Amino acid sequence: MIYLYMTIYNVVGKTMQRVTFSKKTYNGGGHISAPPSKSYSHRLLFLALIAHQPITIGPLLAANDVENTLQVCKQLGVQIKNSSSKWKLYTPPKELISDELIFNCGNSGTTVRFLIGLSLVISGKTHLTGDFFSRNRPVIPMLEAMKSIGTKYAIEKNGIAIETPTINNSKIKIPGHFSSQFISGLIYGIIGLMSRPEVRMKKKMNFDEFTIETSTPPVSFPYIELTHHIFEEFGVKLQFKRIENECLKVKIPMNQNTRLLRNSYEIPGDFSSIAPILCGHALFGAGEMRIMNLSEPRFQADSEIIDILGDFGVERVVDDCDIIFFPLAKNRGKSRDLSINCIANPDLFPILCVMGSYLPQITTLTNINHIRFKESDRVSEMVRILQGFGVNIEEKENSVVISGKSQIELSSSHIFSDIKDHRVLMALLIFTVGVEFKSFTITIENVEYIEDSYPKFLQVLNYQNAKFDLEVIN
């Protein structure tokens, strides 16, 4: 029997924090610099690991998920030297060797799945562990697919062990409907082999071309396009082609020049992390808000939040790499109903649920089944949370329908003690700053998990005059 998911229990120590809100004070506005992109940070670090030359990267996102990838790269031999406070020089190892190394990937799906792909180029057995493996997140379909090319794996108490001693096939077929990281991780592994002919020889791989083909249409496709874009920026060629039933075929020629065309890359701001702040300002803010450092929107899936907010009626002005946003009009009447396709944007789903809750219209979010496989089942989580506040939200087979209203009043106090998904936590915090508290309170525990992607999120809320009590729990 093959299990699609794995659940392994592993306790990871974090300093627990909780916040309590008791009154509505948020007014938004001001100047905010978007944090560096998490997706770019992961990909550029792993590129530095498999490159044949040093690469200068900056500024790296200082968040738990990226730190997990950074530590993995250091364990595998990447040398890091400060070029400035913003830039660092990353020098790759001559060979990726794992002598039974144990990699703690935390709760980072990107770290886990990219490292699984990189097992193709790593010599020796690697052990992956971390909180990821306690979340019932898909990984077995990727491992099972890789068995067809020579990968071996075993489920361990706190994670998995994986090794690819030989590569005996030039084509792999893999499901696309679980996670785009399956495909991106494999691309990194194959390009790592392309850049190291001596490893190909050791693993008895003598193919001129390698093909990755999905058996189902890929979700979150813009993230695969970002992987493609980064490699092409450095001169590595990949051939992408849509085939029958909207599946994807990726061909990677193995005889390419291993010398990269560029030796540095500046990481743009992150649309994913700034999206909750934008939505909070649209709903509850006053005056204009300037978001700085938002470049390269074409290759960030969640840059779509700009157009989505426009569909909700939010006005904005683009000023080079800054975008100025204006809040929605107060006392607005019923807006036009909206249907938003979430197939490419799983990280936007929680905050779009909040937007729909506070607008007097019907908001339908479609193509959401893959969003159940993130750090939590984000669909069920958001439905449960919002229904607890009296929001009219209905969960259907592959969509949710929200009948919103302009004001939400508390009828009792609420305590949330079981949420550990950073995107859901940020969405809940934005929802909270808009409620009418009366004499009640909202307490949210585990807010330390926000540090997985946006450690300064609470600081930004405080800057926008959101008043809350922050408590560290020993």
Is residue 337 a part of any domain in this protein? yes
Q: What is the pLDDT of residues 57-72, one digit of tens each?
A: 999 999 999 999 999 9
For residues 160 and 299, state if they share a domain: no
For residues 262 and 273, state if they share a domain: no
**How high does pLDDT run on average in the chain?**
93
Average pLDDT over residues 164-182: 97
Find the helix packing angle between 271-284 and 422-433, rounded to 10°: 20
For residues 318 and 184, state if they share a domain: no
Final residue of a structural domain among 246, 266, 286 = 266
Is residue 7 a part of any domain in this protein? no
For residues 358 and 246, state if they share a domain: no
For residues 75 and 195, state if they share a domain: yes
Least confident segment among 11-15, 200-204, 305-309: 11-15
Residue 240's domain spans which residues? 38-266
Residue 10 pLDDT level (bands cut at 50, 70, 90): very low
Q: What is the pLDDT of residues 378-430, one digit of tens each?
A: 999 999 999 999 999 999 999 999 999 999 999 999 999 999 999 999 999 99
Average pLDDT over residues 6-15: 46
Signed CA dihedral, 339, 342, 344, 348: sign only: positive
pLDDT at 333 over 50: yes
Q: What is the pLDDT of residues 210-260, one digit of tens each?
A: 999 999 999 999 999 999 999 999 999 999 999 999 999 999 999 998 888
For residues 125 and 255, state if they share a domain: yes
For residues 188 and 206, state if they share a domain: yes
Q: What is the CATH number of the domain that holds 126?
A: 3.65.10.10
Is residue 6 a part of any domain in this protein? no
Final residue of a structural domain among 232, 266, 300 = 266
pLDDT at 458 over 70: yes
Residue 334: per-residue pLDDT: 66
Is residue 213 a part of any domain in this protein? yes
Is residue 136 a part of any domain in this protein? yes
For residues 64 and 195, state if they share a domain: yes
pLDDT at 1 over 60: no
Is residue 26 a part of any domain in this protein? yes
Total domains in the chain come to 2
Closest alpha carbon to 188 in 160, 154, 230: 230
Final residue of a structural domain among 212, 237, 266 = 266
For residues 457 and 353, state if they share a domain: yes
DSSP lists the bridge partners of residue 20 as 443, 469
If one counts every other C-beta atom within 10 angstroms of the C-beta of residue 148, the result is 13
DSSP lists the bridge partners of residue 443 as 20, 415
pLDDT at 119 over 90: yes
Is residue 9 a part of any domain in this protein? no
Burial of 422 (0-12, 13-18, 19+ CB in 10 A): buried
Is residue 346 a part of any domain in this protein? yes
